[in-house]
Amino acid sequence: MEQEQIIQAPVGKCRLAPNNYRRRFDQKKLEELAASMRKVHVLEPLVGRVVKGFDGWEIAFGSRRLRAAGIAGLETVPLIVRELSDDDVLETQIIENSMREDPDPLDEADGFAELVKRGRDAQAIADKIGRSIGYVVQRLKLCDLSKEARKALDEEKITLAVALLLARIPAKLQPEALDELVDDYDDERCATLAVAKKLLETNYLLRLDQAPFDITDAKLVAKAGSCTVCPKRTGQQRELFPDAARADLCTDPVCYRTKLDALWKIRVKSGTQPCLDGKEAQKALGYSSSYEKLNAERYLDSGKRIEVRKLLGTDLPEITLARDEGSGAIVELVPKRAVEAAIDAGRKAQGKRPNPDSHDAYKARQKAADRKLKLRRQAIRVAIEQAVTKAPKVALPDVLELVVRAFAARAWNEVQRDVLERRGVKVKTGEIERQLLKLVRDMKTDAEVAGMGIELAMRAGAPWHMNAGSSGAGSEYWRDGLALVGVDFAAIEKTVAEQAKAKKAGKGSLAKSTPAKGRKREVIHLSDLTGLGKHGTACGAPGTKASTRLSDVTCANCRHAAGGQPKRATKAARKRKARA
């Protein structure tokens, strides 16, 4: 067979190379390419080869064009037939793909990894594709991504830069880190690169300069060896970690934890220092502990911060070691009394009085406050029980007002604002809740209070948003409110849609109309959504037209009913007035 020939190969006799590392194709772009092929056919020939056991040609280069030709329904494609080995095919595929404007990073990573398996190193690959060795090393690092992280990158839930950060930590820890970076309730991309970098370096990359063990000790864990020559230290791989804040960061928390475990066993076995673990350690590390961390900082009277170790100086008290169950960290502790004594000694040296707010005094005050709070809660429970037993004697309208006021105070700020604005109240910044509660207290009739209660409940549960996958039915407050007052929301929604359609067609308008000259202005009432008013209007008067928008209302009585009213007299006040 000749070394190279050009033929018109039937599409049905062409197959994709099984070792083609490129797996991801943009379906939209394939459709666009297919549309172009229907007009001008295939302009650039594909490259293929003859393989044993297959009656046709295996496409080495042009898999995207072959897919588009199939979509376009072409019968043949131009094909250059060459003699190619598997290595030739793979190398040329990678070079061709790297020349593209936006090659898929995971496809590139898989292709580079295949070349490494076949004996190429990162430098040789970089020379072949005309890229820097750092580019190749970072692409190869993507092969260390877990399945979850690869999927997140493929679905564009994380950026390539964030994926490279994730690839630095062990695969078993990546799903946990990914959960912290990606918001499950938001389909948008995850945290920014800066946020991701800070989170991963803080929680998953460990500072070796603060390690409690000797990082040069190769015998602490023989299998791990010394940290100074470990390839998982950021300083050892500057091509992979060019942006690392420190050279001495450990990227393998599992190995780091193993060394902490080994060190802890040595410390406990030596018996030279008190060692706490389990519940004792958690208690000692707690907020109300009688210990202070030696690496913690304290504020002085001058406002400056100082590390406890430096504050105590060379005269250190006995150091207690505590093991944190979560991180495995070995924490050095000293008694808080010693720290307070050192601070008081500094005050005396400056001619100041010792601080009365010592640790013991603080604990005593805290204990007294806890005891007082416990008694307060007990008294509240007793008061509620008594109130429930006496509730049947209270007038129902007064109970209704109390419930509505409580509901109004706990409503979202946006709901409170909408309720006030619908009633024509000018909202004051920072006083929305106070204004709403005053409005409820000033209501004159039970019907107004009931209307307010229904509005608050329905606004809180209304289907304001139409997210993908949402039924749009709203919460039970919304549905129950509609059923209670007999309002057909589906019919209202249909009418609004028809009005919008008419407005768009130029046949009508949703905006407030201006009355023609010589005609009497039509009175627009405020719709009574509570079902308690007469004739379906807030003022109780019959009207031919009503609106739920206060801005549309022209009836003065309706607007007055929606605004502030004289305070409704309580039962006791009415009795006093009668006696007078």
pLDDT at 320 (0 to 100)? 92
CATH architecture type of domain 4-168: Orthogonal Bundle (1.10)
- Residue 569: band (very low, low, confident or very high) from pLDDT cuts 50, 70, 90: very low
pLDDT at 535 (0 to 100)? 59
| Rounded distance between C-alpha atoms, residue 154 and residue 105, angstroms | 9
Give the other-Cβ count within 10 Å of 485's Cβ.
16
The tally of CA atoms less than 13 A away on the side-chain side of residue 186 is 10
Query: Tokens 């009585």 correspond to what residue?
Result: 557
Quick check: 184 pLDDT over 80?
no
pLDDT at 370 (0 to 100)? 85
Quick check: 468 pLDDT over 50?
no
pLDDT at 520 (0 to 100)? 47
pLDDT at 127 (0 to 100)? 85
Quick check: 58 pLDDT over 70?
yes
- Pick from 19-28, 152-161, 195-204, 246-255: least confident: 19-28
| Rounded distance between C-alpha atoms, residue 112 and residue 293, angstroms | 48
| Rounded distance between C-alpha atoms, residue 111 and residue 90, angstroms | 8
The span from the first CA to the last CA of the chain, in angstroms, equals 122
User: Sign (positive/negative) of CA torsion 390, 392, 398, 400?
Assistant: positive
- Pick from 81-95, 173-187, 435-449: least confident: 173-187
Mean pLDDT, the chain, rounded, equals: 77
Query: In this predicted model, what pLDDT tens digit does every residue of 380-422 receive, in sequence order?
Result: 888 778 877 887 787 878 877 788 878 787 788 888 888 888 8
**Token code pair at residue 51:** 């393989």
| Rounded distance between C-alpha atoms, residue 168 and residue 163, angstroms | 9
pLDDT at 570 (0 to 100)? 46
| Rounded distance between C-alpha atoms, residue 9 and residue 75, angstroms | 8
Q: Which residue has the higher pLDDT, 157 or 512?
A: 157
Q: Which residue has the higher pLDDT, 470 or 60?
A: 60
pLDDT at 379 (0 to 100)? 84
The tally of CA atoms less than 13 A away on the side-chain side of residue 455 is 25
| Rounded distance between C-alpha atoms, residue 23 and residue 104, angstroms | 9
User: Sign (positive/negative) of CA torsion 447, 452, 453, 457?
Assistant: positive
- Long-range contact pairs involving 392-398 (C-beta distance under 8 Å, separation at least 24): 395/571, 397/446, 397/449, 398/570, 398/571
| Rounded distance between C-alpha atoms, residue 516 and residue 530, angstroms | 33
Query: In this predicted model, what pLDDT tens digit does every residue of 484-538 receive, in sequence order?
Result: 888 888 888 888 888 888 887 765 544 443 443 443 456 677 665 444 455 567 6
- Residue 87: band (very low, low, confident or very high) from pLDDT cuts 50, 70, 90: confident
| Rounded distance between C-alpha atoms, residue 542 and residue 525, angstroms | 9
Helix (H) or strand (E) holding 311: helix 308-312
Query: In this predicted model, what pLDDT tens digit does every residue of 3-45 receive, in sequence order?
Result: 677 888 898 888 887 766 666 677 788 888 888 888 888 888 8
Helices and strands (H and E) in the chain: how many: 23, 15
pLDDT at 507 (0 to 100)? 55
